[in-house]
Amino acid sequence: MSLKAVVLGCGTYLPERVLTNDDLAKRVDTSDKWIRERTGIRERHIAAEGEFTSDLAVAASRNALEMAGFSPSDIDLVVVATTTPDLTFPATAAIVQAKLGIENGAAFDIQAVCSGFIYALSTVEKFLTSGQHKRALLIGAETFSRILDWEDRATCVLFGDGAGAFVMEAQKEAQAQGRGVIASYLRSDGRLVDLLYVDGGVSTTKTAGHVRMQGNRVFREAVVRISEAMETVARQAGVSANDIDWFVPHQANERIIQGVVKKLDLRPDQVISTIAGQGNTSAASIPLAYCAGVNDGRIKPGDLVMLEAMGGGLTWGAALLRA
């Protein structure tokens, strides 16, 4: 009997410090009005000095494990989607594994920038449904504030720090009762690297670099490519927009989200949006939003949930799961 990869728990963590639009307007030539109207963002969380991506990931993982009713020793796969690792190596996932006291299985990172969680979900699903691993911690965690140019108003107002985690288990079809990841679709087009990238790296400048973005061009690509990914995943799964209960998008810009909603004939009340209070947390945004929907009772077991993201690369993708 075939296996399904089922989400049994989710958890989140946001750093304590909040940076508002008004705070940013004191640093760069911007305003609360411009940021809210163009992006939907009001404030974002910023990691404290000495608080690392792995710390955010561990806090979110503990919450996810608690919801799932597992202890760290039940986990045999840790995958972290991040663009802001603690160190160049080892993988942040290995650091998380050690901090949680997990002695079993494997741990590795996935780098697909803001699409990282979709890439990681698709990867973990294959590891679990192949039978190679039994229970996974799938984490999106970022300290994006560390790679922002705080003088560049076009990018520094957009991003925030945070982490979200899923506990996933390989279950036999009958046990899963229709739950689990149903389909996923990943794409990238490296020719578009100049639209969104970091101007530094280990092999080039030996520095971490800063985010550079042609926001307007990324915006125009986003609605088209995200919609195409969602339509592809829905077609693969044999479902229509009407069947979808909840839409959990990557939280880059409220206007992108609304553009996709309109293009695919979804209803605005199906969207789980956390952008106002968190900004764009890159690979962490999808599990942060998903978990917000679970915690406030909107996403219930059995609901059909569409996830999507687009980010640097360009990379993009979508996934459909039954909660």
Q: Which of 10, 114, 156, 291 is catalytic?
A: 114
Contact positions with ligand UT7 (CB under 6 A) in 114-173: 114, 153-154, 157
Alpha carbon distance 152, 212 (integer Å):
9
Known catalytic residue at 291: no
Judged on CB neighbours under 10 Å (0-12, 13-18, 19+), 320 is: buried
Contact 246, 298 (CB under 8 A): yes
Q: Is the peptide bond prior to 268 cis by the omega test (within 30 degrees of 0)?
A: no
- Report CA-CA distances (Å) from 251 to 245, 272, 274: 18, 9, 7
Query: Catalytic annotation on 210?
Result: no
Q: Which is nearer to ligand UT7, 227 or 280 (CB)?
A: 280
* Binding positions for ligand UT7, 31-70, rule CB under 6 A: 34-35, 38-39
Cis peptide before 314 (omega within 30 of 0): yes
Which residues, 274 to 303, sit near ligand UT7 by CB under 6 A?
Answer: 280
Binding mask 198-237 for ligand UT7 (x = CB under 6 A): -----------------xx-xx--x---------------
The verdict on 252 binding ligand UT7 (CB under 6 A) reads yes
Restricting to residues 175-194, name those near ligand UT7 by CB under 6 A: none
Instruction: Using the minimum distance from each CB to ligand UT7, give the nearer residue, 180 or 259.
Output: 259
Q: Which residues lie closer than 8 Å to 73 by C-beta, 6 or more apart?
A: 101, 102, 103, 104
Which residues are catalytic, by number? 114, 250, 280
Which residues sit at the interface with ligand UT7, rule CB under 6 A?
Answer: 30, 34-35, 38-39, 114, 153-154, 157, 215-216, 218-219, 222, 252-253, 256, 280, 310-311
